[in-house]
Structures are given as C-alpha cells and as structure tokens.
Amino acid sequence: MLNSLSGRFLILTTVFVMLAEVLVFVPSVARFREDYLLGHLERAQIASLALLANDMIDTDLEEELLRNAGVYNVVLRRDEARQLILSSPMPRPIDATFDLRESRPLPLIMHAMQRLADPEPRIIRVIGNPLRDAGLLIEVSMETAPLRMAMIDYGLRILFLSAVISIATAFLLFLAVRVFLVKPIKGVIGHMMAYAAAPEDARRIIQPSAGVRELREAEEALQSLQTELTHALKQKERLAQLGGAVARVSHDLRNILTSAQLFTDRIEMSEDPAVKRLAPKLVRSITRAVSLCESTLAFGRAEEPAPSLTRVSLAELVSDVVESERLTVGDHDLSFSEDVPATLSVRADPEQLYRVLSNLVRNARQAIVNTGKPGEINVAAQEEEDVWRIRVTDTGPGLPPKAREHLFQPFQGGARKGGSGLGLAIAAELIRGHGGTVMLIDSSEAGTIFEICLPRGDL
C-alpha cells in the first residue's frame, strides 16, 4: 500500500499537515505563556485588593493569598509610589524580568521556547498593567516550574489535536484521491491490459469517460494510439496472409512450371517451323515465371489453413503422386514403386496430404537425378493400432549436413543448390495440422527415409 499512489499521498498529506500544525504550535505556546502570566498578575491584583481593603491581615491569611495567586510577592505602583502589598520569603534570587506592557510577537516566542527548553526551576519577575486602571503597574515574583509544566501540558494537547486533524484530513484526502484519481487510473490500466490480450479486437479500445481533464486527455491519447495500432495490426495480418498465400502458390507453381520446362525440351526437337520459331519464346517465358516464383519465395513465408479431414484412399493418392513424378523423369534411369494396401484409407485432407507426399517424392527424385546415377523411390504405408505410417524411401546420395541441421526450417533447409527449403517446412506444417509428424528416419550414402505418422484418433 505504501508503494501505491494513494498510500504515498496519505503519508505526504499527514506530514505536511503536521508541519503546518507545528508552525501553528510555536506561536500558540507563546500566546499561552503570555495568558498564563497575565492570569497570575490578575490573581495577584485581586489578592492585593483584600489587603488594601483591610490593613489588618494576619500572616497566615497573607500567605494563603499569595499561594492562591501563585506568586511570592506583589508590588503596586499607585500615585507614583511603589508599594509592596504582599510578600513572602523567596528561596532563590530573581533570575529574569519580563515586562508584558509592551510585548511583541518575536520576543514572546523566543521567551516561550527558552522556557520550554530550560528544565531548571527559576524565579522571574513579571510586570504588567493593572486591571481597570487600578494603578500604574503591577509587579509579581513567581516560580517558572509550574509555568513550564502548564506549557508542556498545553503543547501536548495541541500536538494530539494536530495529529488527529492531520490523520483525519489525510484520510479524507486519501479517499478523495482513490475515488477521483486512483480508480480512474486503474480503469485505464485495466483497459490497457484487456487491449494487450487481444489488440486486434476493436471492442477493447478504451472509450474516454474520466471527469478529470488530465485523465480524459490521457484516455483520448490512448484511444488514438490503440485505434492506430489495431488498424496497423489488421493491415499487417492481411499482408501476412497475402504474403503466405503468394509464397504457397509460388512454391507449387514453381514446381509445375519446372515440369513444364522439361516438356519444352521435347517441343524444341519438333521439325515444325512454327513450333521451332515459338519454342524459344515459350522457354524464356517459363524461365521468367520460374524466376519470379523463386524471388517471391525468397520474400515471405507461409502459414497453412486448418485441414479439412475426410476419408482418403491412400493407394489412389500415392498413385497420382507417383504418376506425376514419372512424367518429369525423362530418360533418366529412375524407377518408382508403391507398397500401399489397396484397401487402406486414412483420415486426412486429401489436397494437403497430396502436397506433402509430392514434396517428399519430388525431393527424392531431384536428389537422384542430380547425381546422374540410377535410383529408385519407394512409397510404402501400413496401418497400426493408433497411427498410419507412410514411408518415402530413396536410393539417393543422402542429405548434406547443413540440410539435416535445419531440416524443417523454411529458407534454411534446402537440400539442393537454389532450393528455398520451403518444401519440407510446408510438409511438416501440414502434417502438424493433422496432429501428426514428419520425421527423418535415416539419411546416408545408401539413401534417405522419411516417415509420416498420422494419428487414427476417433474414426
């Protein structure tokens, strides 16, 4: 609590009010001392009137009058003559004289503080004006100990009252600060936390409602900032989605165009003059399209939508993938084999699973073709109690160390020169969407084995 705004405000308010009360305390004590001395002068004058009324007062009565007045002697000046009216023996000589007839604030304060600071009992002479003009002056001698005790008692009561006033004032201000400042600030903080949890949700943008002008200005500034940020995030999301879509389309389109590029080699061998004339233009156009796709792939990365799961005949799907790849082999000595039960069906998104298998088989085909040596690619599948396992095996040269280190990381796991590394990254992302995994089982000079595991789940 002490570290909060309202807690610190409570402490500061208490301290400042106490400071103000202390500044009031000093002149109050000085005024109390003056009233105390004037009160003793008044009682001494009343005691002296009893003697003036009757000159024959015994010693016991005189001592009682002085004791009640709280003085040792009383001197009156009447008709230009000083007259000792009442007197008793003094235990000590007079230490100081104070004339209250022309008292000024600063000397009164100084004398009061000196009396509080001096614990020694002393005798002082006090001079003042008699009441109702009963003479020219009145002078008494008195002890300082009762005066100091009365001043301390008065000061303690003043300090206690000051403390009560300070605490009450601080508490009221504390409540006011919590209601008018802390609560609206916490409301702003709550809006900020809610907005931070979902900045794309325009409903969480703060609506200014504070009555305090400064807080309302802060809310309006925050509202403007949140509105701009929400629009920027939406724009960024659209651009990211667009970039992802472009990257996915470019990757698959590049593969399609690469296959078309292989067919143009046969077109160029045609003896038809028109074909010979148009074939170079077709090749250049396809080459430019492939280059554009590769440039696009170098710019962005893709995120795939959730799969639409259905029952898929795996044998038919694998057959389609293999037939597409056979068309791109040309004269190279590369064979394909399938070991998939004809009745095996899996629960998957057919389009996405096709892309995954196509990527794996294509990578294997390109690896073998690049070596210039004969090879074989095999796609096998089996059904287990909890999963379906699909293996793509090739007799290629194996993956280089760098490709293994960043195998499923986009733009880093390319196994061949010029490759983007997106194929395996996309394949892994698509299979993760199915709740499964793509793993590299083995990769050596004897070949490479990839395995896809799809959970059977609830059929």
Q: Which two tokens stand for residue 447?
A: 């070949």
Type and span of the H or E element at 147? helix 145-177
DSSP assigned state of 203: G
Please enumerate in sequence order all residues whose Cβ is within 8 A of that of 312, keeping only pairs 6 or more positions apart, or say none: 345, 346, 347, 348, 350, 353
More confident residue, 261 or 34: 34
Angle, CA of 91, 92 and 95, to the nearest 5°: 145
Kindly tell me if the per-residue pLDDT of 1 is higher than 60: no
- The pLDDT of residue 395 is 93
Cβ atoms of 93 and 123 closer than 8 Å: yes
Winning range, highest mean pLDDT, from 236-250, 273-287, 361-375: 361-375
* pLDDT class of 242 with cuts at 50, 70, 90: low
CB contact set of 30 (below 8 Å; sequence gap of 6+): 105, 108, 109, 111, 112, 113
Structure tokens at 170: 């601080």
Tell me the CA end-to-end span of the chain in Å, nearest whole number. 58
Residue 346 — pLDDT band, cuts 50, 70, 90? very high
Contact assessment for residue 140 and residue 75, using Cβ atoms and an 8 Å cutoff:
yes
CA distance 424 to 448: 14
pLDDT in tens, 180-222: 777 788 888 888 888 888 877 777 888 887 777 777 888 888 8
Q: What's the token pair of residue 20?
A: 């103000």
- Neighbouring C-alpha atoms within 13 Å toward the C-beta of 445: 0
Q: Which amino acid is at 360?
A: L
Question: Which helix (H) or strand (E) element contains residue 388?
Answer: strand 387-394
Indicate the average pLDDT of the chain: 80
410-415: average pLDDT: 53
What tokens does 389 get?
A: 């396992």
SS3 419: coil
Identify the residue with better confidence: 232 or 325. 325
The residues, ordered by sequence, that sit 6+ positions from 441 with a Cβ below 8 Å of its Cβ are: 391, 449, 450, 451
- Mention every residue, 6+ apart, whose C-beta is less than 8 A from residue 370: 416
Element (H, E) at 127: strand 123-128
Single out the residue of 280, 216, 223, 292 nearest to residue 254, CA to CA: 292
With bands split at pLDDT 50, 70 and 90, how would you rate the model's confidence at 413?
Answer: very low
Instruction: Return the bridge partners of 334, or none.
Output: 375
Q: Is the per-residue pLDDT at 106 higher than 60?
A: yes
pLDDT value at position 392?
96
Closest by CA to 352, choosing from 439, 273, 430, 459, is 430
Q: Please tell me the distance from the alpha carbon of residue 83 to that of residue 394, in angstroms, as a whole number.
A: 137
User: What is the helix (H) or strand (E) element at residue 44, kind and residue range?
Assistant: helix 5-53
Task: Write the Ramachandran bin of 210: left for phi over 0, alpha for psi from -120 to 50, otherwise beta.
Answer: beta
User: Cα(105)–Cα(83) distance, rounded to whole angstroms?
Assistant: 31
The shares of helix, strand and coil residues in the chain, as percent rounded to the nearest 5, are 60, 15, 25
Task: Tell me which residue has tokens 């702003």.
Answer: 188
The domain defined by 306-459 folds into Heat Shock Protein 90 (3.30.565)
Distance of alpha carbon 266 from alpha carbon 337, whole angstroms: 26
- ∠212-214-216 over CA atoms, to 5°? 65
Question: Could you tell me which residues are beta bridge partners of residue 437?
Answer: 453
The confidence score (pLDDT) of residue 43 equals: 85
Query: Of the candidates 68, 116, 113, which has an alpha carbon nearest to the alpha carbon of residue 88?
Result: 68
Q: What is the pTM of this model?
A: 0.41
Domain ranges of the chain: 5-170, 306-459
- Give the pLDDT score at 382: 95
- Report phi then psi at 163, rounded to 5: -65, -40
Q: How far apart are CA 41 and CA 47, in angstroms?
A: 10
Where do we find the tokens 């206690």? Answer: 160
